[in-house]
Amino acid sequence: MKKQEALEPQTNFDPARRYVRVCKRRDDGFVEFEFSIGEPALAVELMLPETAFHEFCLANEVILLEPASGEAVDWVARLNQASLRDIEDAAK
């Protein structure tokens, strides 16, 4: 393999593609979701009111992904709980 080939990405990363995966629709009207650009595996977690969420999706022309299930949901829940504990510990 040439040195240049090793530096080239193995996937077709397309920054024009935007993805959304809904994690939870809350009773208070907020939508928790993951947003990613170019690659669904690398995402940020966001939360918006339902109306703003729909506007966000339209403005970004997102590709809607299937909701997370099974172990992925458990992992996200554990990560959220750990983050909250860290914030509470820091406030003490």
Q: Tell me, what's the pLDDT at 6?
A: 52
Q: Tell me, what's the pLDDT at 35?
A: 97
Cβ neighbours for 42, distance < 8 A, ≥ 6 positions apart: 36
Q: Which domain holds residue 84?
A: 14-91
The string of pLDDT tens digits covering residues 3-35 is 555 555 556 889 999 999 999 999 999 999 999
Q: Count how many domains the chain has.
A: 1
In a domain, 48, yes or no: yes
Cβ neighbours for 87, distance < 8 A, ≥ 6 positions apart: none
Q: Please give the Cα distance from 9 to 15 (Å, whole number).
A: 13
* Pairing, β 44-49 against β 30-37: antiparallel
What pTM, to 2 d.p., does this model score? 0.65
In a domain, 69, yes or no: yes
C-alpha angle 8/17/29, rounded to 5°? 135
Q: What are phi and psi of 86, to 5 degrees?
A: -60, -40
In a domain, 65, yes or no: yes
In a domain, 3, yes or no: no
Which has the closest alpha carbon to 31: 75, 70, 71, 62? 62
Q: Tell me, what's the pLDDT at 47?
A: 97
The string of pLDDT tens digits covering residues 51-86 is 999 999 999 999 999 987 665 556 666 666 777 776
In a domain, 37, yes or no: yes
In a domain, 68, yes or no: yes
Instruction: Read off the CATH number of the domain in which 19 is found.
Output: 3.30.420
In a domain, 9, yes or no: no
In a domain, 33, yes or no: yes
